[in-house]
Amino acid sequence: MTEHGHTPPLTRRVPGASGSGPRTSARSVLPEALLARMRAAMEAARGAKADEAEEIDDPGATDDPGPATAPSP
């Protein structure tokens, strides 16, 4: 400490002045092939969700005709 209990102020540091630290990259972290597969999976999930919503809106419209009944003898 200096006389009279005063300490000098801390010097200001400018962010990035030291040149160290994380660097930004122009490249994507994930390979493009993986990103394409992830996009395709998301689109498929959206399509399945839309199909499910249609079934909820019109539950009677199914492709299944129901149980087959045998003709009476």
Mean pLDDT, rounded, for 11-32:
74
Mean pLDDT, rounded, for 13-23:
72
Query: pTM value?
Result: 0.38
Report the pLDDT value the prediction gives residue 58, as an integer from 0 to 100: 66
HEC profile for the chain?
CCHHHCCCCCCCCCCCCCCCCCCCCCCCCCCHHHHHHHHHHHHHHHHHHHHHHHHHHCCCCCCCCCCCCCCCC
What span, in angstroms and rounded, lies between the C-alpha atoms of 65 and 21? 66
Task: Give the end-to-end CA distance of the chain in Å, rounded to a whole number.
Answer: 110
Give residue-wise pLDDT tens across range 25-41.
Answer: 666 689 999 999 999 99
